[in-house]
Amino acid sequence: MRFYNEQRQFYCGIDLHARTMYLCIVDQVGNVLLHKDFKAQPAALLRGVGPYREGLVIGCECMFTWYWLADLCAKEEIEFVLGHALYMRAIHGGKSKNDRIDSGKIARLLRGGTFPLSYVYPAQMRSTRDLLRRRTFVMRRRSEALGHIQMTYQQYNLSSPKRRIRYAGNREAITEPFEDGSVKKMLAVDLAVIERYDQIIKDLELFLVRHAKMDDGQTFFLLRSVPGIGKVLALTLMYEIHDIGRFPTVGQFISYSRLVNCPHTSAGKLCGSGGRKIGNAYIRWAFAEAVCLLIRELPQAKRWIDRKEKKYGKGKALALLAAKLGRAVYWMLRRKEVFNAETFFQS
């Protein structure tokens, strides 16, 4: 966990919402200089912080409307920091909670050096990252339609199609086993939806690959050098990591990627683990997919996983390989080197 601990003349905490924002500005000794509700508009914010802009830092909790605030601060050359929502326990743990109280707590966390930092993703690549995440949403809707076709076969006690219907060429006779016209129409609707999703996903991927080559082609091709990492996994890792330099150590990177457990200890005793949902779920998914494909592509990976599986079981063995791959990707991006299978399995 990283905290904001720089000294500034004024500290502004904002409890931000879609249409309103509550501002609290305190000075170095904790005196409240402004505590007021405003509309969530750029002009209102600049008017409120105007007298205190010199030596000001603005902080808010990470929620879905922070983009415009970060971009405005960057344009106006005002320092902006983003708070990690899951770590801001001082806000969520109080007996009383409202916008006025929350903004004051944020300002005091900034002043006291206990404001937990989250990464402020730069505007240049942020929209492309969001588009890539939207592709995941579309893929899940496509999978639901495919699953509904399989479920319909099971409802009528029919054998599932022998060939994989996720491929367009295997969907020709999907409705033939059914006699009821309504069932045929229902499956035809599913097929039409799937075909449309296929077209949308294809166009999305072409667009994303084109932008990846323009944004950071070197990183994209470095990630593609890993056996099993195709264009989608490479895009996911590239846009979710963004800058490997923001992780000073490999341990911080694999922790952010949810590839390691976080033990809880007290008085020298292990009290379990936690924080499994703190980190980037998209990077965790990408590495989980990548290790399965790595085993398929490299015989050395298959032998390695077989040895670990005998000792730890299949699930733990895959998790160990994912963490190992995460460390390799970290050093690949830091050193600008392609993947080397021989070095990977020797280390």
**Is the entire prediction scored with pTM above 0.75?**
yes
224 belongs to a structural domain:
no
Closest CA to 148 of 190, 193, 196: 190
Please give the span between the terminal C-alpha atoms of the chain, in angstroms, as a whole number. 28
Distances (CA, A) of 325 to 110, 222, 255, 256, 293: 36, 14, 13, 14, 12
Same domain for 242 and 156: no
Residue that terminates a domain, selected from 84, 118, 152:
118
Residue 228 lies in a domain: no
Residue 222 included in any domain: no
DSSP secondary structure, 307-319, as one string: HHHHHH-HHHHHH
Between 272 and 325, residue with greater pLDDT: 325
- 214-228 burial, b if ≥16 CB within 10 A, otherwise e? ebbeebbebbbebbb
Give the pLDDT confidence score for residue 10 in this predicted structure.
Answer: 97
Last residue of a domain, one of 101, 118, 135: 118
Question: Which pLDDT band, with edges at 50, 70 and 90, does 95 fall under?
Answer: confident
My answer on whether 9 and 59 are in the same domain is yes
For residues 15 and 87, membership in a common domain is answered with: yes
Query: What's the one-letter identity of residue 129?
Result: R
pLDDT tens, position by position, 101-121 = 999 999 999 999 999 999 999
Q: Where are the alpha helices (DSSP H) in the chain?
A: 42-49, 66-76, 89-92, 99-112, 123-155, 181-224, 231-241, 250-256, 281-297, 299-312, 314-335, 341-346
DSSP three-state, residue 59:
strand
Average pLDDT over residues 60-81: 95
Rounded to whole angstroms, the Cα distance separating 235 from 133 reads: 10
Encoding tokens for residue 260?
């390691």
If we measure between CA atoms, which residue out of 231, 151, 229 comes closest to residue 183? 151
Residue among 272, 251, 271, 273 at smallest CA distance from 261: 273
User: Does residue 91 or residue 269 have the better pLDDT?
Assistant: 269
Q: How confident is the model at residue 347 (pLDDT cuts 50, 70, 90)?
A: low
Task: Give the model confidence (pLDDT) of 239-294 as tens digits.
Answer: 999 999 999 999 999 999 999 887 778 888 887 777 777 889 999 999 999 999 99
Mean pLDDT check: name the lowest of 70-79, 224-233, 255-264, 318-327. Answer: 255-264
Q: Write down the pLDDT at residue 285.
A: 95
* Listed residues 95, 118, 141: the one ending a domain: 118
pLDDT band at 67 (very low <50, low <70, confident <90, very high): very high
Considering the domain boundaries, does residue 31 fall inside one?
yes
Give the pLDDT confidence score for residue 314 in this predicted structure: 92
Shared-domain flag, residues 138 and 60:
no
Alpha carbons 151 and 188: distance in angstroms, whole number: 14
Do residue 146 and residue 78 come from a single domain? no
Neighbours of 18 (CB within 10 A): 9
**Dihedral, 71, 72, 76, 78 alpha carbons, nearest 10:** -80
The answer on 307 and 331 residing in a single domain is yes
* Residue 200, in any domain of the structure: yes
Q: Is 223 domain-assigned?
A: no
- Let me know if residue 268 belongs to a domain: no
Residue 112 and residue 31 share a domain: yes
Distances 246 to 90, 201, 316, 333 between C-alpha atoms, Å: 26, 31, 28, 12
Q: DSSP labels for 139-156?
A: HHHHHHHHHHHHHHHHHT
Length of the chain equals 347
CA–CA separation, 41 and 45 (whole Å):
6
- Cβ atoms within 10 Å of 50's Cβ, excluding its own: 9
Helix (H, G, I), strand (E, B) or coil at 273: strand
How many domains in the chain? 3
pLDDT tens per residue across span 6-52 = 999 999 999 999 999 999 999 999 999 999 999 999 999 999 999 99
Instruction: Please check whether residue 321 lies inside any domain of the structure.
Output: yes
In the chain, the percentage of residues whose pLDDT exceeds 70 is 98
- The model's confidence at residue 85, banded by pLDDT at 50, 70 and 90, is confident
Q: What is the pLDDT of residue 89?
A: 75
The Cα–Cα gap between 249 and 223 comes to: 19
**Residue 187 confidence (pLDDT):** 94
CATH of the domain at 39: 3.30.420.40
Nearest-angstrom CA–CA distance, 160 and 189: 18
Q: Which residues pair with 12 in a beta bridge?
A: 25, 58
User: At a CB cut-off of 8 Å and minimum separation 6, what does 18 contact?
Assistant: 40, 65
My answer on whether 26 and 104 are in the same domain is: yes
Give yes or no: residues 12 and 106 share one domain. yes
**Host domain of residue 244:** 233-263+275-346
pLDDT classification of 5: cutoffs 50, 70, 90: very high
pLDDT, tens digit (0-9, with 9 covering 90-100), for 328-341: 999 999 999 999 98
